[in-house]
């Protein structure tokens, strides 16, 4: 390796920690790990690590968390996705061997979180951590370190402002901050903002070679000087042939879901079937992880040839099955959208990248940062000597070299939109982090947004907030000001705790104040119009215009509320229709096929709606709209579980989903009391239940009864 390696034994940590590392096969520190330790990782220094994928950033996080634990402090680790949180939770659970208790909390934004006190290391998503900082459970004082993974997300319009606030809350607590990222072109700027020592490294366990395809010359040019001839001007055929001949795996990144799917089909049609046992093994995984029938049916024909597609439209289970099969070598080619590059650990020897994306009516090339994120997936530690990333569609050689040699775009604050500022200004006041205008000004000056806007445009964001955002929040009756002091109103407090946009709350109140007792579809369409629903992706609603107007005229749905475009209204109506099927126990496969949405999208719709109907219910309660509050509360449970009202009691029990609850109901068991009265034999005899589950159902029912 040429450099003097640092042994793990040299870490100033107890023997059992070192032993644990050695058990995992870790003998020496990687260069970024070594540098992080040198710069004071274990002495509580704030550290920002910018180093490539697979360079060992997770272990840096673990060392900081364990070090805090050993000093009697709590550690928090936060990550963009629930799936990543689950993955890290499993990984970190190994530390229970040295007595650390590992916990995870990723949902229920208004749940006070006091119970998390029993854990030493807590894994969260950005939003849940933000909500915990707002709710201020007592144990927050004992937090010693906050690790923020994938810090480059700070420039993301939707998630970025949350990360920025988390960092500021953590600084205010006096906790150590450890930020991690693979693609940062301005790490110095971020490190300075956070008061971090910078660990900058381009060390990779596997060498990455980058190249691009020149169609005109029918060759691939690599940055190590090699070229590869492409026969018949067909890049994909060439990639497949090489991979099959040399027995390696390939990930191809497409920028649109339908392109990923069609390319996967085309590849499968060109290559021979894999052996039957391998195929069956993959199909078993689909069943084990509970992919939907319609997904399995579609992917089956591809898996037969060792191929799959992967995108956010798939159910969580289908994605897990594909990732898992690829990692264990059962699948050879995956055509994916960029979501696969967002933190999921699934490298391949070769990665092929398509760079054109259709956005806002135009075809645009992706950014260098996005390219780097995907290219970084090339090369599997422990298996490959090199990894290769190949860009498939550059317009000329200049563009190819720009992707390869260019610096990724600098990461800038996203805490500059009206929505983000409205949400977070309210939360700062409602949670008591600032009590007056001067304090608000001081705190805002600590944001990255303040620095960025002052430098780039000479704008002072604190003035903007005080002149525009504060008055708007007062108009909305969320806060009050009195001689320089700022107070939240009851509504403001509720809204901040519920983790919704103040505008969402106002839209709901304004609309419902004037109506009597609407049907569920009315409520569902309403919440789907609010700004908190915008991240949900739904297509194919334009043709619904006539139907929507007719529903509106019959009073079945609200009209477009102020500020909502016709298309957003139609989109909300479509979401309302989808949810209405879901709460009437229509089969998921049927919903997906008739409404032409992905299982992953359906899940996001359900999750968002379940949270917003619940929040709407609490908001109505706080302003005295009692009837709506009750209706919305029932509706939120129906949305959460996908059931008619009569099953609400049964689905509260762990282990009973909508299908089993319906079967029990049909067999005359309709309430928790019924479960406790009929005896185990009758429950066990119901299809899909059996003795083991019956026993645990009765147990759970007893627990609920005694609550
Ligand atoms: P990153 O978070 O930077 O993408 P990971 O932390 O996931 O990278 O590390 C990639 C792989 O390298 C993991 O399988 C991890 O167990 C392994 N690894 C990390 N540090 C070391 C080390 N010091 N020695 C050997 N393997 C390591």
Q: How many CB atoms lie within 10 A of CB 267?
A: 25
Distance 617 CA to ligand 1 centre (A): 45
Is the model's pLDDT at 300 over the cut of 50?
yes
Q: Kindly give the distance from the C-alpha atom of residue 87 to the centroid of ligand 1, in angstroms, as a whole number.
A: 14
Query: Residue 38 and residue 57: Cα distance in Å, rounded?
Result: 15
Helix, strand, or coil (residue 103): strand
Query: How far apart (Å, rounded) are the C-alpha atoms in residues 226 and 185?
Result: 27
Q: How far apart are CA 503 and CA 423, in angstroms?
A: 9
Q: Which whole number is the average pLDDT over 261-277? A: 96
In 3D space, the residue among 636, 643, 537, 641 whose CA is nearest the CA of residue 584 turns out to be 643
Q: Which residues touch 284 (CB under 8 Å, ≥6 apart)?
A: none
Distance 65 CA to ligand 1 centre (A): 16
Given the CA of residue 25, which atom of ligand 1 is nearest to it? Answer: 25
Question: In this structure, which residue's CA is closest to atom 20 in ligand 1?
Answer: 56
Closest CA to 20 of 95, 71, 93: 95
Q: Which token pair is 43?
A: 């002495």
As given in the structure block, the two tokens for residue 294 are 């319609």
Residue 122 to residue 101: CA distance in whole angstroms: 9
Q: How far apart are CA 476 and CA 35, in angstroms?
A: 50
pLDDT tier at 693, thresholds 50, 70, 90: very high
Cα 480 from chain centroid (whole Å): 34
What one-character DSSP code corresponds to residue 477? T
Report the separation in Å between the CA atom of 76 and the middle of ligand 1, taken as the mean of its atom positions.
20
Could you report the per-residue pLDDT of 209-258, keeping only the tens digit for each? Answer: 999 999 999 999 999 999 999 999 999 999 999 999 999 999 999 999 99
Q: If you take atom 8 of ligand 1, which residue's CA is the nearest one?
A: 54
Residues pairing with 19 in the sheet: none
The closest residue, in CA terms, to atom 9 on ligand 1 is 56
* Tokens (6 digits) for 441: 């000004």
Distance CA 520, CA 541 (A): 20
- Give the per-residue pLDDT at 562: 86
Nearest protein Cα to ligand 1, atom 16: 56
- The candidate with the shortest Cα–Cα distance to 313, out of 609, 612, 640, 595, is 595
In the block, tokens 């147990």 appear at 699
Q: How far apart are CA 381 and CA 387, in angstroms?
A: 9
Confidence of residue 107 (pLDDT cuts 50, 70, 90): confident
User: Rounded to the nearest whole angstrom, what is the distance from the C-alpha of residue 253 to the centroid of ligand 1?
Assistant: 24
The number of CA neighbours under 13 Å toward the Cβ of 701 is 23
8 A C-beta contact, residue 32 and residue 60: yes
Token pair 């840096």 is at which residue?
A: 60
Task: Give, in degrees to the nearest 5, the angle at Cα 535 between 529 and 537.
Answer: 90
Report the nearest-CA residue for atom 15 of ligand 1.
56
- Helices marked H in 514-598 — which ranges? 520-529, 545-553, 566-582, 588-595
Tokens 């806007």, residue located: 453
- Is the pLDDT at 696 greater than 80, yes or no? yes
Long-range CB pairs of 84-89, under 8 A, 24+ apart, other chains included: 84/149, 84/343, 84/344, 85/123, 85/124, 85/125, 87/345, 88/58, 88/123, 88/149, 89/123
Summarize pLDDT for 422-436 with one digit per residue, the tens: 999 999 999 999 999
> What confidence tens digit (pLDDT) does each residue in 46-105 have?
999 999 988 999 999 999 999 999 999 999 999 998 888 999 999 999 999 999 999 999
SS (H, E, C) 636-657: HHHHHHCCCHHHHHHHCCCCCC
**Ligand 1, pocket-test mutation among 28, 53, 56, most atoms within 8 A of CB:** 56
Q: Is the pLDDT of residue 2 over 70?
A: no
How many Å is the maximal CA-CA distance in the chain? 78
pLDDT at 194: 96
C-alpha 205 to ligand 1 mean position (Å): 9
Question: Tell me, what's the pLDDT at 3?
Answer: 65
Query: What is the average pLDDT across 145-170?
Result: 95
Report pLDDT digits (tens) over 23-48.
999 999 999 999 999 999 999 999 99
Pairing of strands 207-214, 219-222: antiparallel
Q: How far apart are CA 168 and CA 219, in angstroms?
A: 50
Ligand 1 nearest-atom number relative to CA 53: 4
Chain centroid to CA 477: 32
Can you tell me the mean pLDDT for 161-187? 94
Q: Is 648 exposed, middle or buried (0-12, 13-18, 19+ CB in 10 A)?
A: middle
Which atom of ligand 1 sits closest to the CA of residue 32?
A: 3
- Residue 56 CA, closest ligand 1 atom number: 6
Provide the Cα torsion 218, 222, 226, 230; round to 10°.
-20
Mutation probe of ligand 1 site: the residue of 18, 25, 59 with most atoms within 8 A of C-beta: 59
**Atom 10 in ligand 1: residue holding the nearest Cα:** 54
Which residues line ligand 1 at a C-beta cut-off of 6 Å?
26, 28-30, 33, 53-59, 345, 381
Please give the pLDDT value at position 341. Answer: 83
Cα 400 to ligand 1 centre (Å) = 30
Q: 56 C-alpha to center of ligand 1: Å?
A: 4
Tens of pLDDT, residue by residue over 335-358, are 999 988 887 788 999 999 999 998
Residue 407 CA, distance from chain mean position: 26
| CA of 29, closest atom in ligand 1 | 23
Looking from the CA of residue 8, the nearest atom of ligand 1 is 23
d(CA 150, CA 80): 7
Which residue out of 41, 47, 54 has the highest number of ligand 1 atoms within 8 Å of its CB and is therefore the one to mutate? 54
| 59 CA: nearest ligand 1 atom | 6
Backbone angles phi, psi at 194, to 5 degrees: -90, -5
Cα of 54 from ligand 1 centre, angstroms = 5
| b/e burial code for range 530-540 (CB count within 10 A of at least 16 → b) | bbbbbebebee
Placement of tokens 């059992």 in the chain: 16
**Is pLDDT at 660 greater than 50 in this prediction?**
yes
First and final C-alpha spacing in the chain: 61
Q: Tell me how many degrees the CA angle 48-49-52 measures, rounded to the nearest 5.
A: 155
Beta bridge partners of 214: 219
CB 146 within 8 A of CB 176: yes
pTM of the model: 0.91
Percent of the chain whose pLDDT exceeds 90: 87
pLDDT value for 1: 46
Rounded to an integer, what distance in angstroms lies between the CA atom of residue 316 and that of residue 298?
16
Q: What is the DSSP string of 485-523?
A: EEEE-HHHHHHHHHT--HHHHHHHHHHHHT--S--HHHH
pLDDT tens, 471-526? 999 999 999 999 889 999 999 999 999 999 999 999 999 999 989 999 999 999 99
Q: Which of 237, 251, 211, 400 is nearest to 337 (CA)?
A: 251
Question: Of the candidates 677, 642, 676, which has an alpha carbon nearest to the alpha carbon of residue 660?
Answer: 642
User: Across-strand partners of 350?
Assistant: 250, 388
Mean pLDDT of the chain: 94
The answer on pLDDT for 570 being more than 60 is: yes
What percent of the chain is modeled with pLDDT above 70? Answer: 100
Residue whose C-alpha is closest to residue 257's, from 335, 342, 159, 157? 335
Helix axes 520-529, 566-582, angle to 10 degrees: 130
């Amino acid at each position: 390796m040429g450099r003097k390696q640092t042994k793990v034994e040299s870490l100033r940590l107890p023997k059992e920690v070192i032993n644990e590392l050695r058990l995992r096969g870790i003998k020496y520190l990687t260069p970024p790990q070594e540098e992080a330790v040198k710069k004071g990782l274990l002495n509580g220094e704030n550290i920002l690590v910018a180093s490539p994928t697979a360079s060992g950033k997770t272990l840096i996080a673990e060392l900081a968390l364990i070090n805090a634990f050993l000093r009697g402090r709590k550690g928090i680790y936060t990550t963009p996705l629930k799936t990543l949180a689950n993955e890290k939770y499993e990984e970190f659970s190994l530390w229970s061997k040295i007595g650390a208790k590992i916990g995870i909390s990723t949902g229920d934004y208004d749940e006070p979180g006091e119970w998390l006190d029993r854990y030493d290391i807590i894994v969260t998503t950005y939003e849940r951590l933000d909500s915990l900082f707002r709710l201020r459970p007592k144990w927050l004082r004992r937090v010693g370190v906050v690790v923020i993974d994938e810090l480059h997300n700070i420039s993301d319009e939707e998630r970025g402002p949350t990360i920025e606030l988390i960092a500021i809350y953590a600084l205010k607590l006096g906790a150590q901050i450890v930020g991690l990222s693979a693609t940062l072109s301005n790490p110095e700027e971020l490190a300075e903002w956070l008061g971090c020592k910078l660990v900058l490294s381009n060390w990779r366990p596997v060498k990455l070679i980058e190249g691009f395809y020149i169609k005109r010359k029918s060759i691939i040019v690599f940055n190590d000087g090699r070229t590869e001839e492409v026969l018949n001007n067909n890049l994909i055929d060439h990639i497949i042939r090489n991979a099959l001949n040399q027995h390696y795996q390939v990930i191809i990144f497409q920028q649109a879901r339908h392109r990923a799917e069609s390319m996967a089909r085309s590849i499968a049609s060109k290559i021979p079937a894999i052996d039957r046992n391998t195929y069956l093994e993959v199909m078993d995984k689909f069943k084990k992880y509970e992919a939907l029938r319609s997904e399995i049916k579609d992917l089956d024909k591809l898996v037969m040839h060792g191929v799959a597609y992967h995108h956010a439209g798939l159910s969580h289970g289908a994605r897990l099955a594909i990732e898992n099969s690829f990692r264990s070598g059962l699948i050879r080619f995956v055509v994916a959208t960029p979501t696969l590059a967002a933190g999921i650990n699934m490298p391949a020897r070769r990665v092929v990248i398509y760079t054109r994306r259709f956005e806002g009516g135009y075809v645009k090339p992706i950014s260098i940062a996005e390219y780097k994120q995907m290219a970084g997936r090339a090369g599997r530690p422990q298996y490959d000597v090199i990894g290769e990333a190949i860009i498939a569609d550059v317009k000329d050689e200049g563009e190819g070299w720009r992707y390869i040699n260019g610096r990724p775009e600098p990461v800038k604050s996203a805490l500059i939109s009206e929505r983000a500022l409205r949400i977070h200004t309210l939360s700062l006041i409602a949670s008591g982090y600032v009590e007056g205008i001067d304090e608000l000004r001081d705190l805002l000056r600590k944001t990255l947004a303040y620095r960025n806007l002052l430098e780039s445009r000479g704008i002072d964001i604190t003035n903007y907030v005080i002149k525009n955002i504060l008055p708007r929040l007062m108009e909305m009756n969320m806060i009050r000001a009195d001689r320089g002091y700022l107070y939240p109103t009851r509504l403001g407090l509720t809204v901040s705790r519920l983790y919704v946009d103040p505008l969402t709350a106002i839209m709901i109140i304004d609309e419902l104040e004037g109506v009597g007792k609407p049907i569920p579809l009315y409520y569902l369409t309403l919440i789907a119009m609010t700004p908190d629903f915008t991240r949900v992706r739904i297509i194919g609603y334009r043709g619904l215009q006539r139907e929507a107007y007719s529903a509106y005229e019959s009073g079945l749905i609200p009209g477009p509320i102020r500020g909502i475009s016709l298309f957003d209204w139609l989109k909300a109506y479509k979401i309302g229709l989808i949810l209405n099927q879901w709460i009437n126990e229509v089969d998921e496969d049927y919903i997906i096929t008739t409404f032409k949405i992905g299982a992953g999208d359906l899940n996001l719709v359900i999750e968002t709606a379940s949270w917003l109907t619940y929040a709407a219910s609490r908001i109505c309660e706080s302003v005295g709209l009692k009837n709506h509050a009750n209706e919305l509360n029932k509706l939120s449970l129906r949305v959460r579980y996908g059931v008619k009202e009569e099953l609400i009691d049964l689905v509260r029990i762990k282990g009973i989903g909508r299908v089993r609850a319906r079967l029990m109901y049909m067999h005359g068991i309709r309430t928790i009391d019924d479960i406790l009265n009929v005896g185990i034999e009758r429950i066990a005899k119901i299809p899909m239940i059996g003795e083991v589950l019956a026993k645990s159902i009765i147990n759970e029912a007893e627990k609920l009864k005694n609550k």
